[in-house]
Amino acid sequence: MASRVVVIGSGIGGLTAAIALRAEGHEVEVYDQATTFGAIGAGVSLGANGTRLMDRLGLGPALREVGSDLHRIQFHEWRTGELFYEHPMGDWYTGRFGAPFLGLHRADLQQVLLDAFGSDGVRLGRRCVAIDETPDGVDVTFADGSSTHADLVIGADGVRSTVRQHVAGPDEAVFAGMSCFRGLVPVDKVPGGDRMGLTFFLGPVSHLVVYPVRRGELINFVAYTRDEAWTDESWSAKGDASQAVAAFEGFNDTVLAMLGAVEDTGRWALFDREPLRQWSTGRVTLLGDAAHPMLPHAGQGSNQAVEDAAVLAHFLGQPDLPVGAALTAYETVRKPRARQLQLGSRGNAKCFQVPDGPEAQARNERLANLPDMVSWIHQYDAHAELQGATA
Ligand SMILES: Cc1cc2nc3c(=O)[nH]c(=O)nc-3n(C[C@H](O)[C@H](O)[C@H](O)COP(=O)(O)OP(=O)(O)OC[C@H]3O[C@@H](n4cnc5c(N)ncnc54)[C@H](O)[C@@H]3O)c2cc1C
């Protein structure tokens, strides 16, 4: 059993892992290159596979307090806004999957995690630049020249992970040929916003995913558009409302009103990476986007990071299990599911954006089976899965 654990990255994955590992009795410290806390102004949705694990960490009440229970799912035609598919969520979803589907402001989720872990356990302004494994532990060096020693290092440092390079060597990010505008709009500026659950507007080369966050006070949108030329991955590439409105010309009035009302929007090119064969070396492992960056089209990147955290903490909490064996067991449980979602998320993009006419019609008819099609994702209980897993 490891004792001093260093987590690189204080995103959703890193903080959840830190909380879960501390609950197993480890001494945990988190390091992040950011100089201040401050999640980007955007939403994130957690399905039952994520929220049931948050419940087990004791974070359920705080998340329900700041989140929005997504009470239904709706699909709309892009030009007219016509509703062509609807299904209840809310009580129906919780009854079927055993935990809620929540829309959250990222800053609210980060605050819940920081309150639980304690922000004094997070060292800011520390960019990890090198990892050296020695027979008795791991040395981590930061860009400011400082260093720390740990029994185990967890790389939760996102899609451009430094720790991933130590574990698996360099690889290329894969551009999806698509970018997105993201933003938050006061609910009263979005026509029908107070009735929105998880809402999709599907067009042939563009689509939007829209849902309430922060107790329904704000509407979060992600507006995806296919564009092979726009590859800037930086959130600092600020967009403005007029760019978003222009990119979604021809969409219905609800969409255009929402995009036009945003005060602060960014444009983000979408990248993932190929699944890794190996997530760990002797005393270093990966978690979340560092291990399995995926496109957002299944809404699962954060959920998978939370599942990783639960499984890793479980194996590292086994008193008689050596660290190497615990990391092998962690990978064995997590790799197939993360891989399936990485590759599946790529496929979903092709399903959201299809030409009008017979192809869209066929896709819309398949939606009748949507609850069954996605139940393998939302029904998954990482703890139940571990009952049968051997280390
Ligand atoms: C448009 C969009 C919508 C999405 N919607 C959803 C959704 O609805 N549901 C969902 O589950 N997922 C969603 N995702 C995916 C989700 O955002 C990510 O999967 C998730 O944030 C990954 O969390 P993480 O903790 O692994 O990494 P990150 O959140 O990227 O955190 C990594 C942290 O590591 C730090 N860091 C990086 N390098 C270093 C270094 N060298 N040294 C120290 N610190 C470092 C960074 O500063 C950062 O704080 C979406 C993604 C996108 C792009």
Q: Which helix (H) or strand (E) holds 148?
A: strand 147-150
Say if residue 234's pLDDT is above 60. no
Domain ranges of the chain: 4-173+273-387
Q: What pLDDT, on the 0 to 100 scale, is given for residue 3?
A: 86
Q: What is the DSSP letter of 353?
A: S
Closest protein CA for atom 20 of ligand 1: 302
For the question of residue 211 being annotated catalytic, the response is: yes
Please tell me which residue in 31, 85, 93, 211 is annotated as part of the active site: 211
Q: What is the pLDDT of residues 347-379, one digit of tens each?
A: 888 889 999 999 999 999 998 899 999 999 999
Q: How far is the centre of ligand 1, averaged over its atoms, from the C-alpha of 121 (Å)? A: 19
Q: Which of 11-15, 304-308, 348-352, 378-382 has the lowest mean pLDDT?
A: 348-352
**pLDDT attached to residue 38:** 82
The yes-or-no verdict on residue 109 having pLDDT over 60 is yes
If you average pLDDT over residues 70-90, what whole number do you get?
96
* The pLDDT of residue 236: 46
Please indicate whether residue 336 or residue 388 has the higher confidence score (pLDDT): 336
- Residues 43 and 105: beta-carbon distance below 8 Å: yes
Find where tokens 């890793």 sit: 312
**Which pLDDT value is given to residue 233?**
58
81-102 confidence digits (pLDDT tens): 999 999 999 999 999 999 999 9
Task: Provide the pLDDT for residue 227.
Answer: 85
Q: Residue 229 has what pLDDT?
A: 79
User: What is the average per-residue pLDDT within 229-251?
Assistant: 76
From 105, 224, 289, 308, mutation site for ligand 1 pocket: most ligand atoms within 8 A of C-beta:
289
Mean pLDDT of 53-79: 97
User: Each residue of 120-160: pLDDT tens digit?
Assistant: 999 999 999 999 999 889 999 999 999 999 999 999 999 99
Q: Is 100 helix (H, G, I), strand (E, B) or coil?
A: coil
User: Is pLDDT above 50 for 54?
Assistant: yes
**Where would I find the H helices in the chain?**
12-23, 48-56, 60-66, 90-97, 106-117, 162-168, 241-247, 253-261, 301-316, 323-352, 358-366, 370-378, 382-387
State residue 230's pLDDT score.
Answer: 76
pLDDT value for 120: 93
Average pLDDT, the chain: 94
pLDDT in tens, 183-230: 999 999 999 999 999 999 999 999 999 999 999 999 999 999 998 877
Name the pLDDT band for 238 (thresholds 50, 70, 90). Answer: low
**Cα-based torsion angle of the residue sequence 75, 40, 71, 87 in order, rounded to the nearest 10 degrees:** 20
- For residue 161, give the ligand 1 atom closest to its CA: 38
This model's pTM is above 0.85: yes
- Residue whose Cα lies nearest atom 39 of ligand 1: it is 157
**pLDDT of 240 strictly over 90:** no
Give the pLDDT score at 159. Answer: 94
The DSSP code sequence of 247-280 is HTTTS-HHHHHHHHH-SSEEEEEEEE-PPPS--E
What is the best residue among 101, 157, 345 to mutate for testing ligand 1's pocket, by most ligand atoms within 8 Å of CB?
157
Q: Among the atoms of ligand 1, which is closest to the Cα of residue 129?
A: 41
Contacts of 356 (CB under 8 A, 6+ apart): 204
Residue 346 has pLDDT above 60, yes or no: yes
> Span 4-173+273-387: which CATH code?
3.50.50.60
Q: Which of 6-20, 30-44, 299-313 comes out lowest in average pLDDT?
A: 30-44
Mutate to test the pocket of ligand 1, among 302, 308, 380 (most ligand atoms within 8 A of CB): 302
Which residues line ligand 1 at a C-beta cut-off of 6 Å?
A: 8-14, 31-34, 44-45, 127-128, 156-158, 162, 180, 182, 222, 268, 288-290, 296, 299-303, 305
Give the mean pLDDT of 244-261: 95
pLDDT over 70 at 179, yes or no: yes
Per-residue confidence (pLDDT) for residue 39, from 0 to 100? 78
* pLDDT score at 290: 98
- pLDDT of 232 > 80? The answer is no
